[in-house]
Every structure is written in structure tokens, then in C-alpha cells.
């Protein structure tokens, strides 16, 4: 495929890998300012009739869904689809950045503020996808790209999507560690995507990869045992616990419901830090503005150093919360 020009337009420059149903390539659009784009080719690992039919159906569904999603900023735009030499292709927008699998592969733990910002970002996109009656079904770090230009996360790979307008039992698709029980039985729903988003957030907080079995579950309840590996506030922990409940009926029913639970944490976290910073500032200014302060600092220089440390700690927390 390398060097081949498809549809007399898309020149293949690099293989990006693929899954069981398709192969993905980086290409140059020679008719559109030589912009980079992604070319996906329908290509199964098996010649089994059921596999081929399933792959074609999923490929066709992906094209329909991308058309339905349109030009939403945090979903790749579909540029083209065609058949050449009896092979099926689609062409979509290239997202410049790196996927979250690369960010998380070293087991580095994210701050709570960064995890909350991620959840706001991905749940906003998922809420849009769910409003189009679409379940992604394969939400995982490798399918989320942090865009280089603005650091926003973009949801990619809609090759496993399912329309909620057709709620019947379906073929099992997903990734172990991010796929909840009902999805593994062929009955995914919107909350299945919420579960996956919660598992990614837990992985970011704990540095433990659920796809590698690094997070265990309670043998009696099926609930994920993760809190002991994370430094997290009870408020966020409760939201994450509800996102990844074993029983989907106890989860947030959609991304919008989960987003509504996250938003107060983001706002409350920021304002509480700001109030702490202001309180420390007002207290310090009051001391410095009084005659008592002068005598206190004169008799006890360590008090002055302590105040400086308080100011520094408050300022550092405010700065880190915005990163």
C-alpha cells in the first residue's frame, strides 16, 4: 500500500496499524493543499463469511455515523468514502497529537484537577455522540487523542459504534478492562461508554492499567477496587464509583448525566482553592498592617518564614490547578 495513490488522489505514506476489521494509513490528499488525512481500508483477518459480513456492516455503520456527527470539533470529520478494486475505503480528518495510551503507558499518575478536566472534555464529546443515538463501544486510551494545538481530547475510531435506535442484542465488541459486563454479553447502552470513561480516569489517577488486569474487583459485588491506589477527594471518588458500577442500572445513564455530576467538582474545586488563597492573603495583610505584626515578627523570625511558606503553598496550588 505504501506509495499507492487511491482514487487518483490519496497517496499512502505510512501504515498506522489496524484491528480485526480494518487497516489504517496516513495519506496525503494531493488535491486539497496536500493535507494529511487518515485512510481506513476494510480488511478482515479472517475469510469466514460471518466475520466478513460483520466487518462490512460495521464499516458501513462507521461511515453513516461519521456523516451524522458532521463537523463536531472533537470528532474526526469524514472527508470521503469509495470502492476501488473491490476494496472499501473511507477517508477522515487527521488529528495532530498523541493518544492517551502514550500519556499513560509509563504509569504516571495525573493530578485530580487534570482528571476532572479530562472528564469534562471527554464526557462533553460523548454527550454529543449519545445525542445522535450512537454508542461508541470502544472507548479506551488508544482511541483518544490529545490534540497538539489546544490540548483538547478528540474521540477517534468509530469502527465499533452501535445505534441505540436498534437496541437488540449485537456482536460483542470492545476492549477488556474498559468494557463492562452488559457489553460483554452483547447488550451495550449509553452507560457502557460512561463506564469506559470512568475506567480511563481511574487509570490516570492510579497509574494502573485495567487492560493488563492491574485493577481487581470485589468477588462478591463485582465493584472495582481502586481507591487505595489513588490520592483522591471523596467527592470525585464517589462520582467515579458511580461511573463504573458493575450493575449498569446503578451508573449514570448517559454521558450528560455523568457530566452534570462532574461540573460542580470542577467549579467547586477552583473556587475553594481561590477562597483559601484569598483567606491566607487577607490574614497576612491584616497581620502586616498591625503594630502587633511588627513586634511578633521581631521576637519570632520563624513566624515570618512560616507566613512566606503559606503564601508560597497557596500560590503553587492555584497555579498547578490551572495546568
Q: List pLDDT tens digits, range 96-150.
A: 999 999 999 877 899 999 999 999 999 999 999 999 999 999 999 999 999 999 9
Pair 75, 155: CB distance under 8 Å: yes
C-alpha to C-alpha distance for 165 and 132, rounded to whole angstroms: 10
d(CA 122, CA 144): 9
Whether 5-93 and 97-262 share one fold: the answer is: no
- 186 is written with which cell numbers? 452483547
41 is in an annotated binding site: yes
What's the CATH class of domain 97-262? mainly alpha
Q: Give which of 247, 263, 236 is closest to 123, Cα–Cα.
A: 263
CA angle 157, 159, 162 (to 5 degrees): 115
- Confidence check: pLDDT of 315 > 60: no
* CB neighbour list of residue 132: distance below 8 Å, 6 or more residues apart: 65, 68, 69
Annotated active-site residue 209? The verdict is: no
Q: Considering only the top CATH level, what class is 5-93? A: alpha beta
Number of Cα atoms under 13 Å in the Cβ half of residue 193? 33
Of 8, 33, 80, 138, which is the active-site residue? 138
**pLDDT value at 152 more than 90:** yes
Domain segments of the chain as ranges = 5-93, 97-262, 270-321
pLDDT at 52: 86
0.85 exceeded by the pTM?
A: no
Amino acid at each position: 500500500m505504501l506509495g499507492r495513490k487511491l482514487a487518483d488522489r490519496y497517496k499512502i505514506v505510512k501504515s498506522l496499524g489496524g484491528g480485526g476489521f480494518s487497516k489504517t494509513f496516513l495519506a496525503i490528499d494531493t488535491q486539497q493543499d496536500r493535507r494529511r488525512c487518515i485512510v481506513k481500508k476494510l480488511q478482515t483477518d479472517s475469510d469466514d463469511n460471518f466475520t466478513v459480513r460483520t466487518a462490512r456492516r460495521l464499516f458501513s455503520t462507521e461511515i453513516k455515523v461519521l456523516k451524522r456527527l458532521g463537523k463536531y470539533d472533537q470528532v474526526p470529520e469524514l472527508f470521503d468514502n469509495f470502492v476501488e478494486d473491490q476494496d472499501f475505503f473511507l477517508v477522515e480528518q487527521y488529528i495532530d497529537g498523541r493518544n492517551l495510551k502514550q500519556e499513560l503507558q509509563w504509569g504516571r499518575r495525573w493530578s485530580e484537577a487534570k482528571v476532572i478536566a479530562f472528564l469534562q472534555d471527554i464526557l462533553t464529546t460523548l454527550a454529543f455522540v449519545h445525542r445522535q443515538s450512537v454508542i461508541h463501544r470502544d472507548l479506551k486510551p488508544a482511541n483518544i487523542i490529545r490534540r497538539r494545538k489546544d490540548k483538547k481530547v478528540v474521540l477517534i475510531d468509530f469502527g465499533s459504534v452501535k445505534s441505540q435506535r436498534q437496541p437488540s442484542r449485537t456482536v460483542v465488541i470492545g476492549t477488556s478492562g474498559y468494557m463492562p459486563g452488559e457489553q460483554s454479553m452483547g447488550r451495550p447502552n449509553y452507560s457502557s461508554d460512561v463506564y469506559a470513561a470512568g475506567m480511563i480516569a481511574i487509570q490516570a489517577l492510579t497509574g494502573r492499567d485495567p487492560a493488563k488486569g492491574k485493577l481487581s474487583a470485589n468477588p462478591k459485588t463485582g465493584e472495582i477496587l481502586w481507591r487505595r491506589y489513588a490520592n483522591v477527594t471523596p467527592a470525585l471518588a464517589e462520582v467515579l464509583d458511580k461511573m463504573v458500577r458493575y450493575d449498569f442500572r446503578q451508573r449514570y445513564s448517559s454521558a450528560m448525566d455523568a457530566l452534570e455530576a462532574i461540573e460542580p467538582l470542577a467549579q467547586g474545586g477552583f473556587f475553594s482553592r481561590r477562597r483559601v488563597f484569598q483567606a491566607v492573603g487577607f490574614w497576612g495583610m491584616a497581620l502586616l498592617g498591625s503594630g502587633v505584626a511588627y513586634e511578633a515578627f521581631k521576637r519570632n523570625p520563624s513566624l515570618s518564614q512560616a507566613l512566606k511558606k503559606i503564601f508560597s503553598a497557596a500560590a503553587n496550588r492555584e497555579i498547578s490547578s490551572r495546568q
